[in-house]
Structure 1
Amino acid sequence: MNRKEKLSNTPQELDLLKKLETLKGELDQMFKSDLNRSLPFNELLFDRWERAKKLGFGEGSSIYDSAYVFGNVQVGERTWIGPFTIIDGSGRLAIGSNCSISAGVQIYSHDTVRWAVSGGVEPYEYAPVSIGNNCYLGPNVVISSGVSLGDGCIVGANSFVNKSFPPGSKIAGNPAKELIT
């Protein structure tokens, strides 16, 4: 039994599946020829800039369909939020303009450590996170609650940021530390 037979029981479902496959092929071909990229079907269907606009982000910002957004999140103009990110504003999150939030970045404005170790007795803890203008967060960076990054900060890939850093800092590591350059 092939995939179509497993997924579809009616002629209408088979017709819809065929139309979706045709649409995917056409969009994939268009993106490949225009932008030299191949994306998952959901990313072909949904416009990153339109999603950012619907979320109230600044003009020219974009956010991938695969990004999760929770709570109160403010984003400035022309900020790029990559695929497979977690953007948690449950304790408030502000991201400035002209930022690059790379694939796999996780930004948290809450944590559940005390709740978990207390057997659910202690409440969740919330603390706002602020990321200044013109910041770069490398792939798979994790920012914990209460952190503030000043304008122009660069955070190296795979870093865990659990404290705040002033403008212009270049940081990396687990936990992140300022690099001396």
Structure 2
Amino acid sequence: MRNILQADNLNIGKNVQIHPTAIIKGLSGNSKNISIGDNVFIGANVQIICDDFSIGDYSRIQHNTNIHGYKPCRIGHNAWIGQYTIIDSIGGCVIGDNCGVGAHSQLWSHIKYGDTLEGCNFSTEKKMIIGKDVWFAGHCIVSPIIAADKSMAMVGSVITKDMNFNEIYAGSPAKSISKKIGYQFTENTIEEKFQKMNQYLKEFEFQNGEKHNIKIVKRKNQIDFDDYYTYFEVDTRFYKKTSSDIEVEFMKFLLPEKAKFTPVNDSIQ
């Protein structure tokens, strides 16, 4: 692990799996700061060459992915980064909670190569900001844009402009097609979410066959803050983290497509 992780300040969570062929370090020696949340998976031949990098709980970085840059790269909870993805943080990069980046995608925060002495007009870096629940479905190429929460790009999209809340984009250059096909998310009521989460819990109980310390509530004011229980609050999508074995198993049961929750007061903005 020492050879894999080269950092002056290292914060690594519980139950983290890092393949022995992965490399996590700074651009020229040790990274200044590396923070890896609980239950994170980092696959074979992943290279994270970044001076300041963090990733949240239950996130997964699949094999042969490259993340690099001298400005901070922040990836939230429950992220799925598909194989052979490139994430560039030379201009800085923030990827919010619950985001998916499909295989072979490229997220770029800079454009540099041409000789500026000769008058090349293309030499810029700009922070990329990806909101929560954003999904790049695969083989997407993304410029340093702002992608609003719940926006989505279909397979093979080339995204050069900002993406609006909950709209779906496609093409090269990508344009919104939501008026034709709809939106990534249809809003459910709190009652609908509550009923569905309880159904998921019943399915989990059936598979698990044991007592548990999980409670589903609609709103924060319904939590009694008993330290024994893990509360899942469907209104805000927060949960009170206890890190119990059954909580971890239930989170893995929910991810990636049933439900995504983040710890109270610990989400990536």
**TM over 0.5, shorter chain:** yes
* Between structures 1 and 2, the one with greater strand share: 2
Q: Give the Å deviation of 1:138.
A: 1.2
Point out where structure 2 has 5 or more consecutive residues left out of the alignment: 1-17, 23-38, 181-269
Post-superposition Cα deviations, 1:13-69, rounded to whole Å, max 9, x if no partner, equal xxxxxxxxxxxxxxxxxxxxxxxxxxxxx97976x92549x9420111111231100
- Tell me the TM-score normalized by structure 2: 0.46
Q: CA separation in 1, counterparts of 2:161 and 2:147?
A: 9
Q: 1:43·1:64 contact (CA, 8 Å) conserved in 2?
A: no
Post-superposition Cα deviations, 1:105-161, rounded to whole Å, max 9, x if no partner, equal 10000012xx4164666573101111111111011100012x011000110110100
Alignment of 1:70-81 (within 5 A): 70-71=68-69, 72-81=72-81
Q: Which residue of 2 aligns with 1:65?
A: 63
Q: Which residue of 1 aligns with 2:156?
A: 158
Q: Which residue of 1 aligns with 2:133?
A: 134
2:40 match: secondary structure: helix
Q: For 1:107, give the aligned amino acid.
A: L
How many pairs were matched up?
135
Alignment of 1:33-48 (within 5 A): none
Q: For 1:144, give the aligned amino acid.
A: S
- Tell me the TM-score normalized by structure 1: 0.66
Q: CA RMSD in A?
A: 2.7
Q: Which residue of 1 aligns with 2:34?
A: none
2:92 match: secondary structure: strand
Q: Which residue of 2 aligns with 1:168?
A: 166
Q: Which residue of 2 aligns with 1:49?
A: 40
* Between structures 1 and 2, the one with greater helix share: 1
Post-superposition Cα deviations, 1:44-101, rounded to whole Å, max 9, x if no partner, equal 976x92549x942011111123110012211110011010000001101111111111
Q: 1:78·1:98 contact (CA, 8 Å) conserved in 2?
A: yes
Q: CA separation in 1, counterparts of 2:41 and 2:138?
A: 23
Q: Which has the higher contact order (CA 8 A, sep 6+)?
A: 1
Q: CA separation in 2, counterparts of 1:51 and 1:135?
A: 20
Q: For 2:97, give the aligned amino acid.
A: S
Counterpart selection for 1:148 from 111, 125, 146: 146
Q: Which residue of 2 aligns with 1:83?
A: 83
Q: For 1:89, give the aligned amino acid.
A: S
Point out where structure 1 has 5 or more consecutive residues left out of the alignment: 1-41
Q: CA separation in 2, counterparts of 1:94 and 1:120?
A: 33
Q: Matched residues, percent identical?
A: 24
Q: 2:116·2:123 contact (CA, 8 Å) conserved in 1?
A: no
1:103 match: secondary structure: coil
Q: Which residue of 2 aligns with 1:106?
A: 106
